[in-house]
A and B are shown apart, each in its own frame.
Chain A
Amino acid sequence: MIRDITLGQYYPGDSWVHRLDARTKIIATLLYLIELFVVNNFYGFIIAAVALFVVIGISKVPLKFIFRGLSAVFLIIAFTFLLNMFMVDGTVLWQWKFLKITQEGLSRAFFMAIRLVLIIIGSSIMTLTTKPVELTDGLEKLLSPFSKIGLPSHEIALMMTIALRFIPTLMEETDKIIKAQQARGADFESGNLFQRAKSLIPILVPLFVSSFRIAQDLALAMEARCYHGGKGRTRMNEIRFDRGDAVAAVMMVLFLAAIIASRFIKL
């Protein structure tokens, strides 16, 4: 079912990872993602994967839960893999007409697929262990220095909160509209590109109308609950750095050093 997609979902818990300041986790995740692009050989990935699984272990989020999120984007991973496998020139291992697999292509395909998997798991660890509100609060705090130069940090954070809240609602709505139009004999699969695009109108129009209705309802509900921007707002859970965050910072530095070192490992 559509509501079971784990990407961007929270897995309630009270582990060390859960308790970290959201800002620590956002920065760590960003660093981790950047480091994945610094990696230039498989040893780097081994270090990155080990580090990731250590974090997952500490977080006590079941592996099954994480892989379920991965299965939702399996198609993208497979596509990346195939694209790289067939597109890279080099020593030919297998050929059929214009399709050929090269040693370099194969190695590159694995490389890219592993990177993608690590990116997805790495970022889902952040969302799985951080409540959406903490995540957006953390983001708001991180961005707040920029509000002096006109960046609406509170509004950005609120938009994210609402987006996370309403993604499942809109997915269910879409599912319902698609089925309702299918029940009236709508066909979304056959025809050329133009016909297919046109067949989306019966979905897009009601979806647009629904989104508008949701937005209107929500705006009223927020106003009724005294929402008037970020000014004077307090938080139930004030986020703050503590010793755990310091430990995390040290771990991140060690990890960064290990990744950079891995670039120089040669076979």
Chain B
Amino acid sequence: MTDPIFFEHFRELAKQRRAPVAPPSSGGVIKKQEGFFRRSLSLSLIAHGSFLFVFFVAPMVANLLGISTDYSDKFTKKEFKNAIRVDLVGLPELTLQELQNIDPTEEMGNAPKVEEPAAKEDVVVPPPSETAMKIQSKEDDIKALSKAETQKKVDEAQKKRLADLRASLRVEQRRKELLKELKGEAGEGQGRMPLAGNIVSQGYSVTGDVADDMDIFQGHLKAHLRKTWSLPGWMQASNLSARVLVKLAPTGKVLSQEFIKKSGNEEFDRYVSQALKEAEPYPAPPLSLQRLIMEQGIEWGFPQ
């Protein structure tokens, strides 16, 4: 440290370090830096602002305007609702005539059906062990055993049938309950679905639980009119079609009815009018759909 050469060298270095940095050549460069800074800041503000806008402000605005922002509806309800299910399990069970005569709104799983199998079960032969105990000779032994075996098989088949019946009855039970709701028996013309937690405003868009109501009521109405819609044998395969617009009061009474598309065939239109007339009185619409049906109406397509 006291070496004079080293100290000299060190002084030289210090001199170089203390040499001032070349200042910006002019005031414009300072301005450029500031401009650059400002631009980056504004870009950053825009990016952050748009992010916040899209995810926070726009939905709030949309809500205020009454536009739904439930995007999940689009993907879950509509698409999957329209999925096709193909059963390749076996030949069809019901004949064409039976299918046409089915009215899903009537009780299908009638009470008698439930009692019958139950009674059968009671009548069933006592369990094999008891039967076996009653035997005297060897021959009877064998007879009884084989009888017991077949009886066991019958029992099992019986149980399976019962289980199937019960399963289908449960489904029927549920459907009947839902339909009761529709018919308003659950309360004073309420017709509100027990699942509905949210009350959808009486707007004109159909999503969420109102879509469920719509589906069920539509099915109900369709079944109702299928009973009276008929054509003579020779018109069955024709390509004729007509559309009628019907508006219903909340009680189900017809407020107005008019052809919005005639078939071009007098007889066909006559049978259409006849079918509508014979279908009165209609079932009362559920609360969530009453306004829609009263103001916008139902468009019937015969056959489409």
Q: Do A and B bind each other?
A: no
B binding-site residues for A, Cβ under 8 Å: none
A binding-site residues for B, Cβ under 8 Å: none
